[in-house]
Chain A
Amino acid sequence: MINLKYTIEGGNFTNAGFASSQVKKTLKQLNVSTKLIKNVVVALYEAEVNIVAHANKGEIDVSISPEEVKMILTDQGKGIKDIDQAMTVGYSTASQKVRAMGFGAGMGLPNIKKNVDLLTIESNVGIGTTLTMIKKLI
């Protein structure tokens, strides 16, 4: 089992994607198939950008076993008021700054769901959000 841990700074678009990039490198070294790596890193990158776009700070914990990749992203921030609404394609509360970076079109969470086998979202308004994602490797 490999465990990777990253701290994410809210609002810092310069470093956004660094954690996902490191996870991609690790999965490549482990000879995971290109298709599965893409599923994992697209979901992780969308979720990482969500922390940068919406939260004050966050943490990413990734556990890689031969069977699956489990990713837990916990942030401290404004939280999600209505998770069902947030899962709707096209719904977004992103700021103009986030939209100017090419995100905030209301596609992130639906795209995450499409790329992983399990997605759970727990959120408390004013406190933060935890995303748990699992991608099976076999």
Chain B
Amino acid sequence: MELNQVIDILNAKVVAGNASNFSVEKGFCSDLMSDVLTVDTDKMLLITGMSNLQTIRTSEMADIHCIALVRNKKATIEMKGLAMELGITLIETSFSMYRAVGELYASGLQPVY
């Protein structure tokens, strides 16, 4: 799924990085960073309500290039800076995690397992 489509579905806005020519194949949602670190999947969208610097660091280690922050969580300036430095695209949506995941699944974004 093209990232621009994800942004449309979630009524999200890009707050760091680039959304064009960027696609994701699978989605995974968790607020637990250790959970995220157990997943071994490429081209994955991380959907999370955990908004702090470790969300970006976890994504760096797990080779995740796009994070959707749900529940109207806002990325800090430090998070945006680190995401830009690491080439991670950060989007924000006011949707709850349940709604965000439901809409993406219904639109064809596959689960990791």
Q: Which residues of A are found within 8 Å of B24, using beta-carbon distances?
A: none
Contacts known (A107-B34, A107-B35, A111-B34); A38 close to B57, Cβ less than 8 A: no
Q: Which of B15-23, B60-68, B93-101 is near enough to bind chain A?
A: B60-68
Question: Are B61 and A103 in contact (CB-based, < 8 A)?
Answer: no
Q: Separation in Å of the A28 CB from the closest CB of chain B?
A: 11
The distance from the CB of B67 to the nearest CB of chain A, in whole angstroms, is: 12
Q: Choose the segment among A3-11, A12-20, A75-83, A126-134 that binds chain B (4+ C-beta atoms closer than 8 Å).
A: A12-20
Closest approach, in angstroms, between the C-beta of A19 and any C-beta of chain B? 11
Please report the total number of A residues contacting B with Cβ < 8 Å: 22
A16-B54, A46-B37 known; A102 vs B62 contact (CB < 8 Å): no
| Cα of A14 to Cα of B33 in the assembled complex, Å | 15
B interface SS class: helix
Give A96-130 interface residues, CB cut-off 8 Å to B: 101-103, 105, 107-108, 111, 114
The interface size bin for chain B is 20 to 34
Tell me, in angstroms, the Cα distance from A41 to B60 when the chains sit together: 9
**Cβ contacts under 8 Å, B78 to chain A:** 14
A45 touches B58 (CB 8 A): yes
Neighbouring B residues of A72 by C-beta, 8 Å: none
* Bound: A20/B54 CA distance, A: 12
Residue from B38, B40, B54, B62 within 8 A of A103 (CB atoms)? B54
Contact of A20 among B31, B52, B61 (CB under 8 A): B61
A114 to B55, CA, bound (A): 21
| Residue B53 is within 8 A (CB to CB) of chain A in the complex | yes
- How far does the alpha carbon of A108 sit from the alpha carbon of B32 in the complex, in Å? 11
B87 CB, nearest partner CB in chain A, Å? 12
Q: Is the Cβ of B53 less than 8 Å from the Cβ of A102?
A: no
What is the bound-complex CA distance between A114 and B34, given in angstroms? 13
Measured CB to CB, the residues of A under 8 A from B are: 13-14, 16-17, 20-21, 24, 34, 38, 41-42, 45-46, 49, 101-103, 105, 107-108, 111, 114
Q: List 14 A-B contacts (CB under 8 A).
A: A17-B53, A38-B62, A38-B63, A45-B61, A101-B50, A101-B52, A101-B54, A102-B50, A105-B34, A107-B32, A107-B34, A111-B34, A111-B37, A114-B38
Those 6 A-B pairs whose CB atoms lie nearest each other, nearest first: A17-B57, A102-B33, A107-B34, A102-B50, A45-B61, A41-B61
